[in-house]
Amino acid sequence: MADETSTPSAPSTSRPEGSGPGASGPGGRPPGGRPSGPGGGGRKFFRRKKVCKFCVEKIDAIHYRDVRLLQQFVAERGKIVPRRLTGVCTTHQRGLARAIKQARNIALLPFAARY
Amino acid sequence: MQRTYEIMFIVRPDILDEDLDKLIAGLEANITSGGGSIKSMEKLGRRKLAYMVKKFNDGNYVLLTINADGSLVGEIERRLRVSEPVIKFISVRMDEEEKRVAKIKAIRATRKKLSAQPAATAPAPVEPTAAPAPATEAASA
């Protein structure tokens, strides 16, 4: 009982702190394209607007073959970096994830790197 | 219906060049006899694998781009799975992707032409040409 009452209040107090753009709904998720809104920590200031690398450079097709491009969006341990950190737009992030998974299957990228 | 596929496969590194060529030639013959056509064959050479596959740390990569039926690609995959020197393969359908890229390029080309014309003629027709451009974008989007 005590848990139930406390948990709804906790996110509601942390969300308004972290949200830069004022129009955050109850879910608190800002629309895409916003400067990485309440990223788990509650930053008060706007982070500088990150642009989608693919939209800017007009890269149409993301192939599983160009490992160098894909490696920029893969963390050290081989995990795919979330788009709130890289600033990629949704459609490109989806294509990117698909390409990375294909590259992993053909041993161009590791599934899990380092110990 | 002929579709475009990309088949990339890895051959074990301790295979001889002539054996590799024989293998590829065999696959190509299979494709052409099955009613497909080969657009390109690329040997990407020996690369270090990201993880160990069948106890090998590097392998010979080969990329085949073909126009074929779905059933033929299934047949090729079966052959690759069975063949001993091939340790990994992936086949990806490319025609939808190519269509999408071509469409984007076409839209970009028409947009450029519309913006280039008023600069050549006069500043007056700028607005009417700007209006159809977003309209075509909205129509195509």
Residue A65 sits in the same domain as residue A27: no
Residue B76 sits in the same domain as residue B134: no
Which residue out of B11, B49, B90 would a mutagenesis test of the A interface target, given it has the greatest number of A Cβ atoms within 10 Å? B90
Residue B131 sits in the same domain as residue B84: no
Residue B13 sits in the same domain as residue B41: yes
In this predicted structure, the answer to whether residue B125 has a pLDDT above a threshold of 80 is no
Residue A114 sits in the same domain as residue A59: yes
Cα–Cα distance, B77 to A8 (Å, whole number): 53
Q: What is the pLDDT of residue A15?
A: 46
Residue A9 sits in the same domain as residue A27: yes
Residue B15 sits in the same domain as residue B52: yes
Of A61, A105, A113, nearest to B101 by CB-CB distance is: A61
Tell if the CB–CB gap between A60 and B101 is shorter than 8 Å.
yes
Phi, psi of B69 (to 5 degrees): -80, 160
Number of domains in chain A: 2
Q: What is the pLDDT of residue B131?
A: 46
Rounded to a whole number, what is the distance in Å from the CA of B60 to chain A's nearest CA? 12
Residue A15 sits in the same domain as residue A67: no
In this predicted structure, the answer to whether residue B82 has a pLDDT above a threshold of 80 is yes
Number of domains in chain B: 2
Q: What is the pLDDT of residue A16?
A: 45
Residue A82 sits in the same domain as residue A93: yes
Residue A68 sits in the same domain as residue A112: yes
Of B90, B101, B108, nearest to A106 by CB-CB distance is: B90
Structural domain boundaries enclosing A71: 51-115
Tell if the CB–CB gap between B90 and A105 is shorter than 8 Å.
yes
Residue A59 sits in the same domain as residue A115: yes
* CATH code for the domain in which residue A63 is found: 4.10.640.10
The answer to whether A59 and A68 are in contact (CB under 8 A) is no
Give the pair of three-digit tokens for residue B64. Answer: 């085949």
State how beta strands B56-68 and B3-11 pair.
antiparallel
pLDDT digits (tens, 9 = 90+) for B4-60: 999 999 999 988 989 999 999 999 999 999 888 999 999 988 999 999 988 899 999
Structural domain boundaries enclosing B108: 97-140
Residues A28, A29, A35, A41, CA torsion sign: positive
| Ramachandran sector of residue A39 (left: φ over 0; alpha: ψ -120 to 50; beta: rest) | beta
Residue A12 sits in the same domain as residue A61: no
The answer to whether B11 and B23 are in contact (CB under 8 A) is yes
Q: What number is the ipTM of this complex?
A: 0.74
